[in-house]
Amino acid sequence: MFALVTGGAGFIGANLVHRLLERGDDVVLFDSLARRGAERNVAWLRAAGAGRRLRVVRADLRDPAAVRKLFAGRAALPIDAVFHLAAQVAVTTSVRDPRLDFEINALGTFNLLEAARAGGRRPTLIYASTNKVFGEMPDLRVRAGRTRYRPLNYTRGIPETYPLDFHSPYGCSKGAADQYVRDYHRSFGLPTVSFRQSCIYGNRQFGTEDQGWLAWISACALAGRPVTIFGDGKQVRDVLYVDDLVDAYLACAAHIDRAAGRVYNIGGGPQNTLSLLELIALLERLLGRPVACRFGDWRIGDQKFFCCDIARARKEFGWSPKIGVADGVARLVDWLRPQLDVIFAGV
């Protein structure tokens, strides 16, 4: 397979590129390298010994000419599959700069879809969407327990059929892209898929307070820094280790004849849920010492409970998570130990 991975120097992208190279695929890594840790991820991929199959293109999805070059003209590449992971990823950033958020997430995705359509090869395109497209989910009823909110309905998780309700500029930009990806299958026949992802975590995640909360809290705990919890800490997500997500991307691509035009909720599912308070307790057990916490106001668009119903992905391309929460967090902590200088640089 000849694969294009946008955002390939990011957390998820680097893990996906590494797996593709291990399989012997040819990979184009397309990334602006603007995010902290991106250069390190590229160096890690080059050092993996597969440089001859890896091509790095430093460019921005907001530049349509740079995107078109991949699919058309003399420099066009024989791209079979596109894994579209490049994005502005923080709700807080979208509130501060909604135009930037729109241009990267919505316009950047449109540029990519148009280039893929005009190129004529009809590559598979799988998009990293988000659970934020469902908004605050007002009909989801929860009850507060000692350490978490528990759902009183949707106990198997939120299905793909749940109504869309974009909330925050980030939710709007990612949601608009999500719908463009879906419609380019209906309108133009491109084999596209949208993954509405829950909380992804794991190695190569240089988390920040605004995005990548599981890695950020774990890094703070390791460094002995106080952790700020926004809200009461009982909010719950289904968490998915990045290796399991990569499995989902590859399984979906392998079954694109069935998956094309579909959307899938992709997360840890009901067996892999975690609240912020429960993460603190897990870290305290792993580290053998208390983790200092302070509390702040709730942040815009923060859902009290979200868990994916992953039955459709299991049924249609045979995927389900393999790595449990305790194992995954322990792996993340081990990887984070030597990375603290990068994570806290300038903080």
315 CB-near residues (< 8 Å, 6+ apart): none
Closest CA to 241 of 213, 201, 205: 201
114, two tokens: 């148009």
170 catalytic? Reply is yes
Distance of CA 301 to the CA centre of its chain: 17
Q: Which whole-number Å values give the CA distances from 331 to 201, 203, 222, 237, 321, in the listed order? A: 10, 7, 13, 19, 15
161 CB-near residues (< 8 Å, 6+ apart): none
Candidate list 127, 162, 170, 180, residue with the active-site label: 170
- The total number of residues shown for the chain amounts to 347
Phi, psi dihedral angles at 119 (to 5 degrees): -70, -25
Q: What does 241-291 look like in DSSP terms, one character per residue?
A: EHHHHHHHHHHHHHTHHHHTT-EEEES--TTSEEEHHHHHHHHHHHHTS--
End-to-end CA distance of the chain: 40
Active site residues: 170
